[in-house]
Amino acid sequence: MSSSDGNLHVALLPSSGMGHLLPYLRLAASLIHHQWSLTLITTHPFVSSAESQLISTFLSAFPQITQKKFTPIPLDPVAANITDPFQLQWETIRQSAHLLSPLISSSSPPLSFIITDVTLMSSVISVTAKLCLPNYILFTSSARMLSLFSCFPSIPSSIPKESLPPILLDSNSSFAKNFSDNSGSLKHFNGVLINSFEELEKEPLEMLASGNLTKGLPPVFPLGPFLPLELERISLLAPLKWLENQEESSVVYVSFGSRTAISKEQIRELGNGLVLSGCKFLWVVKSKVVDKEEEEGLDEILGHQLMKKIENNGLVLKEWVDQWQILSQKAVGGFISHCGWNSVVEAAWHGIPVLGWPQQGDQMINAEVIEAGGWGLCMKSWGWGSNHLVKGVEIGDKIKELMGNQRMKMECARISEVAKQRSKAGEGCENMLKTLFQSLKKS
């Protein structure tokens, strides 16, 4: 696209959590590339240090982007009955959504449209409808999850009820209520942008496009795979040096993303499993939901005995790592992942088979995408994170299965090749943005 698109000015409204923020900023960079003017609405205070650092680096790298600071009225977590700090922030923004109105209407030049995070949909649509501002969604999960979301509280026949997270099955939870409200507001939006692509999610994307799933579903624009920005790079000297000395496809990388804490007991079983597998590993340990609260050292979490056992087999880190760079190393041959959607797309791009160990939320449904594609395993029998203790022996066996499976490697290599071609040509994204622009002109 070019400036003939009429100097579009787009506002972006991300929600909290790196899994929501990163795809926004990656999308923002490609919109800038297409000469669109952008306003980024940032919500303060940030929940994690990772978010505040990323935003400040991003805004310094793109001085042409206008920042609008939004400070919602704080909520009492006890009264709101929400324990997860990221979910509390989603609810906080939702309840203060009316305060966005002056911020949006004062934008200059006037906005062409806004892109709202999926978690905020129903609260923001009433604001933007009053301002007659077209509103698109950035859906930060899989097309498979979108197919469930679009029908909720019905469940499409393609999705087993057991794959829904407990929080969605509890109709008293405010999360389930929001999810349902957001789903109900879908028909009022102009379109849904999603980080996916045909070869990764052929069936769900076809089902969504067919119009048979939900009446009034707006057009879905699969813009993936999203690529990281140069500014996301962080120096990883020691781990990269260690990886360079390992054999090709011999190392299993272990990470549960940016906002999932694993119990100390489970961390230790996982450590034993990694040692029992006989594979080399690069393991990112996280014991707290929010990075600011990570106080305990690895010695305390893993214990002296396990630390000793690990010494010759793997590298353990307890900090933010550059996951993209790790996945691009030749030595990495498998990924134990919670299946946050960004991680799934990143693994697909790099052609790394995944041992999917969903912990919460949309992760089981995302792991099923991998399983259906034949490039990884979805460990349903391991249950949801907090209510099961999976033993080291079982984990070790599954790691061996993951690392030894040639069929999954081949399947994954095929998807990776297409993903890379797509990003090189920029075609998928380019054409989709053109269609989006056309749909905007009609609306």
Would you tell me which residues interact with ligand UDP (CB under 6 A)? 17-19, 22, 255, 257-260, 284, 320-324, 340-343, 346
Q: Is the Cα dihedral 263, 265, 271, 276 positive or negative?
A: negative
In the bound complex, what is the minimum distance in angstroms from residue 86's beta carbon to ligand UDP?
9
**43, 277, 359, 360: which one contacts ligand G50 (CB under 6 A)?**
360
Comparing CB distances to ligand UDP, the nearer of 89 and 343 is 343
- Residue 346 binds to ligand G50 (criterion: CB under 6 A): no
Which distant-in-sequence residues (6+ apart) come within 8 Å of 297 by Cβ? Answer: 318
- Six-digit token string for 273: 């499993």
How distant, in Å, are the alpha carbons of 64, 180, 413 from that of 419? 30, 32, 10
- Residue 256 binds to ligand G50 (criterion: CB under 6 A): no
In the bound complex, what is the minimum distance in angstroms from residue 420's beta carbon to ligand UDP?
17
- Residue 149 binds to ligand G50 (criterion: CB under 6 A): yes
Q: What are phi and psi of 199, to 5 degrees?
A: -70, -20
Answer with the entry of ligand UDP, ligand G50, none that 196 interacts with (C-beta below 5 to 8 A by kind).
Answer: none
- Residue 145 binds to ligand G50 (criterion: CB under 6 A): yes
- Residue 89 binds to ligand G50 (criterion: CB under 6 A): no
Q: Are 285 and 317 in contact (CB under 8 A)?
A: yes
**C-alpha count within 13 angstroms, C-beta hemisphere, residue 74:** 8
Name the segment binding ligand G50 (CB under 6 A); options: 103-111, 192-200, 357-365, 372-380. 357-365
Which distant-in-sequence residues (6+ apart) come within 8 Å of 39 by Cβ? Answer: 9, 10, 11, 12, 65, 66, 67, 68, 107, 111
- Six-digit token string for 287: 């014991």
DSSP letters for 240-280: HHHHHTSPTT-EEEEE--SS----HHHHHHHHHHHHHHT-E
- What mask of x and - would describe binding to ligand G50 in positions 170 to 209, judged by CB under 6 A? --------xx--x---------------------------
Comparing CB distances to ligand UDP, the nearer of 195 and 214 is 195
Answer with the entry of ligand UDP, ligand G50, none that 298 interacts with (C-beta below 5 to 8 A by kind).
Answer: none
Rg (C-alpha) for the chain, rounded Å, is 21
Answer with the entry of ligand UDP, ligand G50, none that 152 interacts with (C-beta below 5 to 8 A by kind).
Answer: none
Asked if 76 is an active-site residue, the reply is no
**What is the C-alpha separation between 268 and 273, in angstroms, rounded?**
9
3-state secondary structure of 327: helix
Helix (H) or strand (E) holding 222: strand 220-222
Closest-CA residue to 239 (of 332, 162, 119, 334): 332
In the bound complex, what is the minimum distance in angstroms from residue 263's beta carbon to ligand G50?
18
Comparing CB distances to ligand G50, the nearer of 156 and 303 is 156
**What is the C-alpha separation between 48 and 44, in angstroms, rounded?**
11
What are the residue ranges of helices labelled H in 44-120? 49-61, 77-80, 85-95, 100-105
**What is the C-alpha separation between 54 and 128, in angstroms, rounded?**
27
Overall size of the chain counted in residues: 443
Angle between helices 174-185 and 143-151 (to 10 degrees): 90
Quickly tell me which residue has 């594979």 as its tokens: 279
The Cβ of residue 59 has, within 10 Å, a number of other Cβ atoms equal to 15
Single out the catalytic residue among 84, 117, 291, 362: 117
Comparing CB distances to ligand G50, the nearer of 38 and 164 is 164
Comparing CB distances to ligand UDP, the nearer of 214 and 323 is 323
**23, 358, 361, 385: which one contacts ligand G50 (CB under 6 A)?**
361
In the bound complex, what is the minimum distance in angstroms from residue 338's beta carbon to ligand G50?
11
Asked if 5 is an active-site residue, the reply is no
In the bound complex, what is the minimum distance in angstroms from residue 364's beta carbon to ligand G50?
10
Comparing CB distances to ligand UDP, the nearer of 320 and 437 is 320
Phi/psi class of residue 373: alpha, beta or left (left: φ > 0; alpha: ψ in -120 to 50)? alpha
In the bound complex, what is the minimum distance in angstroms from residue 173's beta carbon to ligand G50?
10
**141, 255, 266, 416: which one contacts ligand G50 (CB under 6 A)?**
141
Answer with the entry of ligand UDP, ligand G50, none that 362 interacts with (C-beta below 5 to 8 A by kind).
Answer: ligand G50
The Cβ of residue 427 has, within 10 Å, a number of other Cβ atoms equal to 11
Residue nearest to ligand G50 (CB): 361
**42, 112, 116, 119: which one contacts ligand G50 (CB under 6 A)?**
119
In the bound complex, what is the minimum distance in angstroms from residue 165's beta carbon to ligand G50?
5
Comparing CB distances to ligand UDP, the nearer of 246 and 255 is 255
Answer with the entry of ligand G50, ligand UDP, none that 316 interacts with (C-beta below 5 to 8 A by kind).
Answer: none
- Residue 167 binds to ligand G50 (criterion: CB under 6 A): yes
**Active centre residues (catalytic):** 20, 117
Binding site for ligand G50 (CB under 6 A): 118-119, 141, 145, 149, 165, 167-168, 178-179, 182, 360-362
